[in-house]
Amino acid sequence: MTDEDGYFGESVAATYDESSAEEFQPEVVGTVVDFLAGLAGDGRALELGIGTGRVALPLARRGVPVHGIDLSRAMVDRLRAKPGGDTIGVTIGDFATTKVEGTFSVACLVFNTIMNLTTQDAQVDCFRNVAAHLEPGGRFVIEVMVPELRKLPAGQTVVPFHVSPTRWAFDDYDVATQQVSSNYVEVVDGHGRYRSIPFRYVWPAELDLMARLAGLRLCERWEGWTRDPFTSESGGHVSVWEKPAA
């Protein structure tokens, strides 16, 4: 199973780094890598949705052995083409169920990627899959948004998040099913292009229950990678669950 013709196929992979340029800034990546390297210690890291290597490559340069899982061969091809990319092991597959050899001291799922699993069952399976790969005392780290439902007045389902003369982007929520789609309209050379990607948003407390089902327990939750406190006003969170020591 691959994503060659799906939501992260060649057309998306070709411009992914540029379209997410803010996330590739050294100061942004540096805080992520500092956080993960501290948890990894002398162990290995498993990155789910490794993509083009935004996190994996600098983490590997810090001396942390990294293995990745990703459904998109096109994204992984971009990783492979970068310096050091050919030294990182990657398994092509669905990170909710794909198994790899060995155990890891830390596993991570960053930049809202847990929401690419569009059912609750798949998200639960992801936690169970990670738990099976963690060594005793290992940690699972997720970075994800807090659903922006407070921005929705009664009867409205759409939250815009980018508006410019040539690009419009908005999220469309279904609060009954926790389904949300990110929708993009772009004008290129005078022609309009539309793209929509489905997600399933998930609440912090729901993630904690998924972790408990997998035998993990919450040990940290922050607003972001710099460990600012998570509050009712936070727009996202970085959460860490631990596998009990043997």
For 215-235, give the DSSP string.
T-EEEEEESSTT-PBP-TT-S
Strands (E) across the chain are located at 45-48, 66-70, 89-92, 104-109, 134-145, 158-163, 167-174, 179-188, 191-200, 217-222, 236-242
- For residue 11, the model assigns a pLDDT of 80
* 2 occurs within a structural domain: no
Residues 63 and 19 in one domain: yes
Q: Is the pLDDT of residue 3 over 60?
A: no
Are 69 and 110 contained in the same domain? yes
List the one residue out of 83, 92, 47, 91 whose CA is nearest residue 65.
47
pLDDT of residue 121: 98
Residues 125, 70, single domain; the answer is yes
Structural domain that includes position 26:
10-146+202-242
Residue 18 — pLDDT band, cuts 50, 70, 90? confident
Chain segment 181-190, per-residue pLDDT in tens: 999 999 989 9
Residue 130 sits in the same domain as residue 232: yes
Residue 95: inside a domain, yes or no? yes
Q: What is the pLDDT averaged over residues 201-216?
A: 98
Number of Cβ within 10 Å of residue 149's Cβ equals 12
**Cα(246)–Cα(168) distance, integer angstroms:** 51
Closest among 136, 111, 120 to 47, alpha carbons compared: 111
Q: Is 10 left (phi over 0), alpha (psi -120 to 50) or beta?
A: alpha
| Number of residues that make up the chain | 246
Residue 4 belongs to a domain: no
**What is the number of structural domains in the chain?**
2
Asked whether residue 215 is assigned to any structural domain, the reply reads yes
| Percentage above 90 pLDDT, the chain | 89
Residues 59 and 162 in one domain: no
pLDDT at 4: 45
What is the distance of C-alpha 55 from the center of its chain?
11
Percent of the chain having pLDDT more than 70?
A: 97
Both 61 and 123 in a single domain?
yes
- Please list the alpha-helical segments (H only) found in 41-134: 56-61, 73-81, 120-133
Write out the two tokens for 236: 């996202």
Are 106 and 45 in contact, with CB atoms under 8 Å apart?
yes
Q: How many CA atoms lie within 13 A of 209 on its CB side?
A: 7
For residues 79 and 165, state if they share a domain. no
Same domain, 172 and 221: no
Average pLDDT in the 12-34 region? 86
